[in-house]
Amino acid sequence: MKKSGIIVILILLIAIPSFAHKTPFPPPDSPYQTVNDYVFALKEKNFNRAYQYITKRFAGNLTEENWVFWMSLADETSGWELLEFKILKVNVAEDIALVISRGSMETIEGQMLMIGNYLLKKKKSEWKIDGKDIRELITIPENEDESDIYGQGDK
């Protein structure tokens, strides 16, 4: 009985650390976290918070108040909703970084799949987005007759 109890304890001591090991989160101030927080602030329509993750140059030299106003206006007219967002790769070289992402969003035109490239600069020990390039891969139109998507509609 004592021998089996010791064996169980040894097995638990070996097994528990492997179950407890989790992938570490990126540091709070990393290019990965900056882009992730920026995108989710936009998703939540929290433009004041999103402004905190960008450089003044990226904001078009607008004050926070003016940038938030224009972002709110653009949001009202575009009617988009983020469906999925994932960071694929992060490259860092001293005080500059490139973050590559993919995502999908619902727009008034349909569902859009896209790839995003975010350029970040480190300013005063904080990573800020200084540029972005979003490429639309495909838009799946909202259409009652899905056969049109495959070129089979209205024969």
Q: Each residue of 114-145: pLDDT tens digit?
A: 999 999 999 888 999 999 998 888 877 766 45
* Amino acid present at 40: F
What are phi and psi for residue 153, nearest 5 degrees?
-85, 160
* DSSP state for residue 147 in the 8-state scheme: G
pTM of structure:
0.72
Domain boundaries, the chain: 26-144
What does the pLDDT look like over 64-106, one tens digit per residue?
999 999 999 988 877 788 889 999 999 999 999 999 999 998 8
Mean pLDDT computed over 50-71: 95
| Range 26-144 has CATH code 3.50.50.60 | no
